[in-house]
């Protein structure tokens, strides 16, 4: 059984966060340490620790994460210029919080996909 992270507290609104969207499946909030003018995290409301733990029963929430990303990109005014969606997995992926999250990053040119 995966351990809850700080993101569960954000979902339950037990700690402050700049929440942009929440419904029965997902929550989206601004990253506390933004790497670009728009840096938003979109997460499932139920705990999935890593992408490796995703199951078919998670597909509704994962699909909702994509539609919410597109909606927020539009609202942030970055849809036309473009942006990047990132999901980090485990150590080599640079994952720090073990509750899967999609980074929506944009508002400036982001360069190539990987910094080397
Ligand atoms: P990752 O390295 O993919 O696991 O990304 C974790 C992200 O969560 C980082 O970009 C952090 O800045 C962000 N983060 C950690 N704690 C919080 C928090 N309390 N509120 C908003 N973002 C957070």
* Residues 6 or more apart in contact with residue 54 via CB below 8 angstroms: 48, 62, 100
Is 94 inside any structural domain? yes
* Structural domains of the chain, count: 1
> Residue 69 gets which letter from DSSP?
H
Mutate to test the pocket of ligand 1, among 2, 11, 41, 48 (most ligand atoms within 8 A of CB): 41
Which domain covers residue 93, as residue numbers? Answer: 6-106
Q: What is the pLDDT of residues 40-49, one digit of tens each?
A: 999 999 999 9
Is 17 inside any structural domain? yes
Compute the distance from residue 98 Cα to the ligand 1 centre, in Å.
10
* In the predicted structure, residue 76 carries a pLDDT above the cut 80: yes
Catalytic residue among 39, 46, 92, 101: 101
Sign of CA dihedral 72, 73, 76, 80: negative
Is 116 inside any structural domain? no
pTM above 0.95, yes or no: yes
């Amino acid at each position: 059984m995966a351990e809850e992270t700080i993101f569960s507290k954000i979902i339950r609104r037990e700690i402050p966060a700049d929440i942009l969207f929440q419904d029965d499946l997902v929550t989206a909030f601004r990253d506390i340490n933004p790497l670009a003018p728009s840096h938003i995290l979109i997460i499932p409301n139920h705990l999935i620790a890593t992408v490796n733990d995703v199951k078919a029963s998670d597909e509704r929430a994962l699909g909702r994460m994509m539609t919410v990303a597109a909606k927020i990109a539009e609202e942030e005014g970055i849809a036309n210029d473009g942006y990047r969606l990132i999901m980090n997995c485990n150590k080599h992926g640079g994952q720090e919080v073990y509750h899967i999250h999609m980074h929506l990053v944009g508002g400036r040119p982001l360069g190539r996909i990987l910094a080397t």
